[in-house]
Structure 1
Amino acid sequence: MPTLPSWRHVCLVLAMVAGAQFAGAAAIPANVPAPLLDSSHPVDWWFAFKFNAYSFPGCGGGAQVNSCQFGGSPQTYTSGKSYSQQYIYASSSQPSLSQGGGCVGDTLTDPVGATFNQIYNGQLNYVVWNDQFYDDPSIASCSGDSCSAPWGHSKGVLAWDAQGNGVVMQVSTPSWPASGNARYPRSSDGNTLGCVADNDVKVSQHFFSLRLNHNDVLAVLQGLANASVVTDPGNPQIVKNGGPADIQAAVGLLGQQSGSAMPTVSALSSGVSLISKPSALQVAPWQLVSAELGGVALRAATWWEGSKSTAIPSTTKAGKPACWDSSLATPGPVAIATSGSWQGQSFSLKGGLGNNFNHAKIGVSTSGGKPYVIFGDMNQEGSLSGDCASSQNGRGGLFFVLQNATLAKSVGALIGGSTAAAR
C-alpha cells in the first residue's frame, strides 16, 4: 500500500515535475505580478525571516523606521530595543540565506516592502486575510479584536491582474497587512511594519512570496476557503474582486467557515505544493504536514510555549497519534526547534512571555532524501491525544512546501539549535 493516498501522491509528483520545468523558465514578463526583491528585481519566490528584538534589535545598518510607506507613523517602541526589523532572505535567484539591509517592510528596496508596494499602490485585484485585524477592519462574524476557532489561523495577501496572473505573500504578522490598496487606508492604525500600534516587530516573523499563474490563483483561493481564513469580500479595504470569472467566483466563497474535514494538496506550477488544513480536521498541524509529505521527519520552529499544556512535544518515532483521522497517512517524527543561530549569534525560537519570542512558522525535512522547506500558518500547539479540538488542532491554515536543497540546508542551519524534549 502506498504511504500517501494516491491522489495526494499524484499532486506531489506533479509538483516536482512542474518544479523541474519551472527552474529553467524564461524571465518573468514585465508588468506581471511577481515577488520582488526590490522595485526592479522580480523573482519566482523569496523567503524572509525577521529576527526578534532581544537578539537583533533595530534595523540593519543602523537604519531607522521613518518612511511608513503604507500608512501610519513610527511607534514609541521603535525608539528603543523593543523592536527588530533586521532580516535575512533567500530567493529563487539566490537560495542561500543572506543578510538584508535597512528596515524590512518599510522600504521599496526590501522584499516585503517592494512586493507589497506593487499591490498597495497598484491596480491589482486582491484579497487580504488575517485572524488578527484588531478591528481595523472589523469582521462582523468575529468577537473582539481577533477571530478564534474555528476561523483559520492564517495571514497574508493574494493579488492578481486582469488575466489571472498573481502573487501571494504569506505572513505571520498580526495586524499587518490590513489594507490592500492606498485608496482604502486603515482608519485607526497604520499599515506598515513598525508603524502599527500592535508591536508585531518585537518577535521573530516570517514572510514567503510566490509567483502564480491563473490556475495557481484558483488553487490558493480554494485553499483559503478550505482553511476558513478571515476576510470579507464585501469590504474594499481588504478585497477587490475582479479578473477572470472563475477567480471572482472563488473569491465570493471566502469569509465563511468551511464545513470541510479533509485537507487539500495542490501542485502549483512553480513546483511548490500547497497544503490546506481545515478547522474540522482536528489533528496536530505539523504531524499533518509530515503525513501529507509521505511520513518524512520534520524539524519545525513555531510559536511554541513549553510551559503550556497545549504545547505539543517533540516526537521521535513515526506513528498515528490518538487525535488522528483514518483517512490520513502515518506521520513521521516532528522535532520542535527551540533555538537557532545566525552568524554566530544564537536566538530563541520559543513563544510565550519574555524577551525571546518567535512567531515565524517554518520547517525543514530531516529524512526521506527530499529537501523540503515548509512555510506555514500554524503553531505546533494543540494535542496528540485527549482534547483533539485544543488550540491549533481546531483551526485551519496553509503550508507552502518548496523543494530546494540549498535553501533547506540554509534554513536547517538557521533553526538547528536546541530541541524541545519528547514526552
Structure 2
Amino acid sequence: MPSQLAWRRACLSLALAAAALQSYAAPSPLLDASHPVNWWFAFKFNAASFPGCGNSAQVNSCQFGGSPQSYASGKSFSQQYVYASSSQPSLSQGGGCVGDTPTDPVGATFSQIYNGALNYVVWNDQFYDDPAIPSCSGNACNAPWGHSKGVLAWDDQGNGVVMQVSTPSWPASGNAHYPRTSDGNTLGCVADNDVEVSQHFFSLKLSHADVLALLQGLANASAVTDPGNPQIVRNGGPSDIQAAVGQLGQQSASAMPQVSKLSSGVTLISKPSALQVPPWQLVSAELGGIPLRAATWWEASKSYAIPSTTQSGAPACWDSSLPAPGPVAIATSGSWAGQTFSLKGGLGKSFNHAKIGVSTGGGIPYAIFGDMNQEGALSGNCASAQNGRGGLFFALPNAALAQSIAKLIGGSTAASAR
C-alpha cells in the first residue's frame, strides 16, 4: 500500500538521520586519533634537561611538511614532554616526539585540522615571512602587535577546538592544500630551532559562543594573522563567526581587557597592547587578585625583567579601571622525575619559552596558560616590552592539574621587588 510504503520511507529517513548524527563528531582536543577529550596540556622540556625524544624515538616523519633539521641530529633539541588532560588531570610523561606523531596530543590534534576540512585561523607573531604579513615590517611582527601564537578550527555549526602554542614559526599553515613554501610545518622540521628550549601547548574544546569569544579576544589582542591568505585562514561556518574572522589581522585601539567565561568553565583573558600593565599582574587582577606563580621567558640580566612581587596592590604601571592584583612569583627552575631544569629565558639549550602559571591561594586552584612573558615594568617606562603588547590567557580551574603544574615549576624563585 502507498501509505505503508511512505511510512517505511519516513522511518528509513529518520534512521539515516539518526545514524548521521551519531557518526558526526565535533572537533575536539585529541590525545591520539581516537581519543577526544575536553582539554589537554603539554609541556615540552628543553634540550639540556631531556634531550631528544622519548623511548629513543627519532624525528624523521615530518608529518606536516619539512625535513629533519641539523639541530636534531646534533641533539640540541628536545621533544620529550609531559601532559595532562580532562580524562587524567595529573601530569605524566609521554612517549615519542611531541608534535611529530599521530599518537601524541599535539600531533593528533593538529592533524585533525591540517588534514581535515575544518575552517581555521592560524596566528603567530613570528611566521618569519612564510607566510609574509604585509602589515608587519621585517620577518616578525613586533609591538604593538600581539605576542600570541596558536590555531583555532571550527566546523560549519560553529563547534571548535583551539590549540595555544608558544612556538615561533609553528604552526604556519592550517591545511595540507596550502603548505608552507620555504619551510616545514612540523615541530623538529622547521628552520627555527624552537624545540631547543622548553615550550607549552594547550588545547580546549569550544562551543559556537566560545569560538566567537576567542575570535573577539584575538582581535582585542592584535593577534597576527591575515584573513585574505588561505595558508593561515579559511573562513566559513556561521555568519557571526565569519564576521568576527573578518576583523582579524588589524592592530586594535582597545585599552580594555576582554574577560570571558567559556562553556568549559575556563576564563579567557585578552590583554590589548594599549593596556600597558605587567601581563601576569593583569591575570591576577582579573581572577580576583589571587597570588600567582608563573614560568615564562624571563631574563634576569634584562632591564625589562619584572621581578617577583610579594605584596598585593597595584604597581605604578597600572590602569585605575582595573582591580588590584595579588603577588606574582617568578619561577626560575623546576623539576621532573628527579631532574632539575631551568625556567629562565635566554638563548641556548637550557632555557624556557613556555608561559604557564598556577594560583597559589585565593580558594580556586587555577592552571594558567598564556601568550605573554613577565617582561616589562612595574614602574617607569610602562610601555616597555610585553607591557606594550597584547596576548591571551586561559585560566582552567582544576585542583589536580594546578597541583601537578605547581610541582613541575616549584623550584627556585626570582628575587622580589616588594
Pick the TM interval, shorter chain. over 0.9
Asked if 1:405 is matched to 2:396, the reply is: no
Show CA shifts across 1:64-119 (max 9, x none): 00100000000011012200000000000000000000000000000000000010
Asked if 1:89 is matched to 2:88, the reply is: no
Show CA shifts across 1:11-66 (max 9, x none): xxxxxxxxxxxxxxxxx984210000000000000000000001100000000001
> Contact 2:76–2:349 at 8 Å: present in 1 too?
no
Q: CA deviation at 1:140?
A: 0.4
2:328 pairs with 334, 351, 355, which one? 334
Q: CA deviation at 1:356?
A: 1.7
Partner of 1:263: 257
Partner of 1:108: 102
CA distance in 2, matches of 1:228, 1:29: 38
Aligned ranges for residues 250-399 of structure 1 at < 5 Å?
250-399=244-393
Asked if 1:204 is matched to 2:198, the reply is: yes
Aligned CA RMSD, in angstroms, stands at: 0.9
Aligned ranges for residues 2-17 of structure 1 at < 5 Å?
none
Asked if 1:47 is matched to 2:41, the reply is: yes
> Contact 1:54–1:81 at 8 Å: present in 2 too?
no
Q: CA deviation at 1:212?
A: 0.4
> Contact 1:298–1:333 at 8 Å: present in 2 too?
yes
CA distance in 2, matches of 1:353, 1:158: 29
TM-score w.r.t. the length of structure 1 is: 0.93
Aligned ranges for residues 68-147 of structure 1 at < 5 Å?
68-147=62-141
Report the identity percentage. Answer: 83
1:248 pairs with 242, 250, 267, which one? 242
> Contact 2:365–2:397 at 8 Å: present in 1 too?
yes
Q: CA deviation at 1:143?
A: 1.1
Matched letter for residue 216 of structure 2: Q
Show CA shifts across 1:345-396 (max 9, x none): 0000000134421000000000112101100000000000000000000000
Partner of 1:222: 216
Deviating above 4 A after TM superposition, structure 1's stretches of 4 or more consecutive aligned residues are none
Unaligned runs of 5+ in 2: 1-21
Show CA shifts across 1:160-186 (max 9, x none): 000000000000000000000000000
Matched letter for residue 73 of structure 1: S
Matched letter for residue 344 of structure 2: K
Unaligned runs of 5+ in 1: 1-27
CA distance in 1, matches of 2:269, 2:350: 29
TM-score w.r.t. the length of structure 2 is: 0.94
Show CA shifts across 1:205-263 (max 9, x none): 00000000100000000000000000000000000000000000000000000010000
Matched letter for residue 260 of structure 2: S
Partner of 1:67: 61
Partner of 2:151: 157
Q: Number of residue pairs matched?
A: 396
